[in-house]
Amino acid sequence: MISIKGVDKHFGELHVLKNINLEVDRGQVVVVLGPSGSGKSTLCRTINRLETVDSGTIEIDGEQLPAEGRKLAQLRSDVGMVFQSFNLFAHKTILENVTLAPVKVRKTDKAKAREKAMALLERVGVANQAEKYPAQLSGGQQQRVAIARSLAMDPKVILFDEPTSALDPEMVNEVLAVMTSLASEGMTMVVVTHEMGFARRAADRVVFMAEGAIVEDAPPAEFFDNPRSERAKDFLGKILNH
């Protein structure tokens, strides 16, 4: 579903992605781990072309990412993205936030879009908040709305970049629960997270990045119990003991 071959990227002098090769099959959940600055967010952003690459290719469902124009907009709408900051439109209701893109981009009929949005809000447990504005919701509720908004476009893939990092601890689990159920329903997901429990439970593979390169790519049990590289051992030591 996602095929990344030989991707390199620089920010000026800084070599942020180094010969990245990554294949994600339909329905797979890949958790991306690694120290701060290792290129995890940049990798996510290149997958829906919020960032360009210097060389290499990225394909979504067999189609290479186009450089620009309508084809890019189309392909980008196949790739949902959920960020640390929820980025909901502050002056639109929860329901409007979820119906906006389907109506504007997919030209879905308004009534249909509302019906579908309500079903999605139900699914993530915030249907009773539909007429409220984002600021009236908790962080956990807003993040679940952001996931519903992403799902409203019927994406082929959803990328999550530290979706729970900005949340108070008691709200982390409600968001992880939604992600876990998506994973078990067969959504193809790439998830940057520090939630090791989620990685163990929901991931098919863990990809460990350091200094712009993929250093390990293994099933979670293998990665956590038997990390091969010193970098991964060091990283796990810090994260699991703090």
Q: Where are the beta strands (DSSP E) in the chain?
A: 2-11, 14-24, 29-33, 55-60, 63-64, 79-82, 157-161, 188-192, 205-210, 213-218
What torsion do the CA atoms of 208, 212, 214, 215 make, to the nearest 10 degrees? -70
Interaction of residue 42 with ligand ATP, rule CB under 6 A: yes
- In the complex, residue closest to Mg ion by CB: 41
Smallest gap from Cβ 41 to ligand ATP, in A, equals: 3
80 binds, among Mg ion, ligand ATP, none (CB under 5 to 8 A by kind): none
Q: Near ligand ATP by CB under 6 A, which window of 29-37, 70-78, 110-118, 143-151?
A: 29-37
Position 36 contacts ligand ATP (CB under 6 A): yes
The site map against Mg ion for 29-58 (x = CB under 5 A) is ------------x-----------------
Question: What string of DSSP letters covers 37-96?
Answer: TSSHHHHHHHHTTSS--SEEEEEETTEEPPSSHHHHHHHHHTEEEE-SS----TTS-HHH
16 binds ligand ATP (CB under 6 A): yes
Judged by CB under 6 A, the stretch of 39-47, 72-80, 110-118, 124-132 that binds ligand ATP is 39-47
Instruction: Give bridge partners of residue 80 from the DSSP assignment.
Output: 158
The binding site for ligand ATP (CB under 6 A) comprises 11, 14, 16, 34, 36-42
The binding site for Mg ion (CB under 5 A) comprises 41
